[in-house]
Structure 1
Amino acid sequence: MNLSKSEMLAKANEISKGTLLETLGIEIIDYGEDFLVARMAVTPRLHQPDGVLHGGATAALAESVGSFAAHLFLDIENKFVRGIEITANHLKAVTDGYVYAKATFIHKGRTTQLFDIRVTDDHDNLVSVCRLSTISLSKPT
């Protein structure tokens, strides 16, 4: 089944309905040969009590975009992907607008994968730097 890029993005966002991605307002917006980009609106619902984006929401965005990238670029017909570890270094506070997470492979092994995930704001300022490791395991037969 050959889908256009816009059809693939629509399908990715459709399967996210009813999940944490929908709850947080995460939308997959672009992908290429070795990257995937998602965005999330920064609203008061995602703020810490002092009015800035909660780091946990940022980490959830990063893990979501990395996991989606693993699914997009690996053989998921015969494998399933799970996150192993995520780290997040938060560098800049955000109060409104959007944050964008771009996942790229650092390591693309058959069993383990490592992603670099850069989170930026509407002005392309670096908000967080994250690393996600995933594992792909054979589906039970």
Structure 2
Amino acid sequence: MEKLEIVFTEFTVDRITATMPVAGNTQVYGILHGGASAALAETLGSMAAALHGAGKTQPVGVDLNITHHKAGRSGLVTAVCTPVHLGRRSTSHEIVISNEDGARIATARITNMMLPVEN
């Protein structure tokens, strides 16, 4: 999170939001790197699953997919993570990443398996 400069702006079981700058997270052509977008999405989805588990379970990512709709060119991108499924053994979340104009630049979905915490 520190390396990508991810900053959380909302943090609840029902909704996690965060921002990330495009600068410093670009690929060779100067646009937002798809891997940085995926890392942002996975960070939010995993944090959301951990919140749902409330310390009784530990999320382990089993699937992440992301569709890039348009290039992130400058400024901050904002990611909004909302639950699709909150179960005892698995969770799924959708993460929408938008630019400063509110245009969707990527959509991701993550599924986490919830493992019991061993003491």
TM over 0.5: yes
Q: CA deviation at 1:33?
A: 5.2
Larger Rg: 1
Alpha-carbon distance between aligned partners in 1 of 2:50 and 2:117, rounded to the nearest angstrom: 13
RMSD (CA atoms): 1.1
Tell me the residue number matched to 2:9: 29
Query: Where do 1:101-140 residues align within 5 Å?
Result: 101-140=79-118
Deviation larger for 25-34 or 96-105: 25-34
User: Whose relative contact order is higher, 1 or 2, with alpha carbons under 8 Å and at least 6 apart?
Assistant: 2
Alpha-carbon distance between aligned partners in 1 of 2:72 and 2:95, rounded to the nearest angstrom: 17
Instruction: Tell me which amino acid in the other structure corresponds to 1:80.
Output: Q
Per-residue deviation, residues 41-90 of structure 1 (Å, max 9, x unmatched): 110x21111110000000000000111111223222x2111111100000
Tell me the residue number matched to 1:42: 22
- The answer for unaligned runs of 5 or more in structure 1 is 1-20
Residue 41 of structure 2 is aligned to residue 65 of structure 1: no
Tell me the residue number matched to 1:91: 69
Q: CA deviation at 1:100?
A: 0.8
TM-score by length of 2: 0.94
User: % of aligned pairs identical?
Assistant: 32
Alpha-carbon distance between aligned partners in 2 of 1:26 and 1:138, rounded to the nearest angstrom: 28
Higher helix proportion: 1
Alpha-carbon distance between aligned partners in 1 of 2:12 and 2:86, rounded to the nearest angstrom: 15
Alpha-carbon distance between aligned partners in 2 of 1:80 and 1:74, rounded to the nearest angstrom: 7
Aligned length: 119
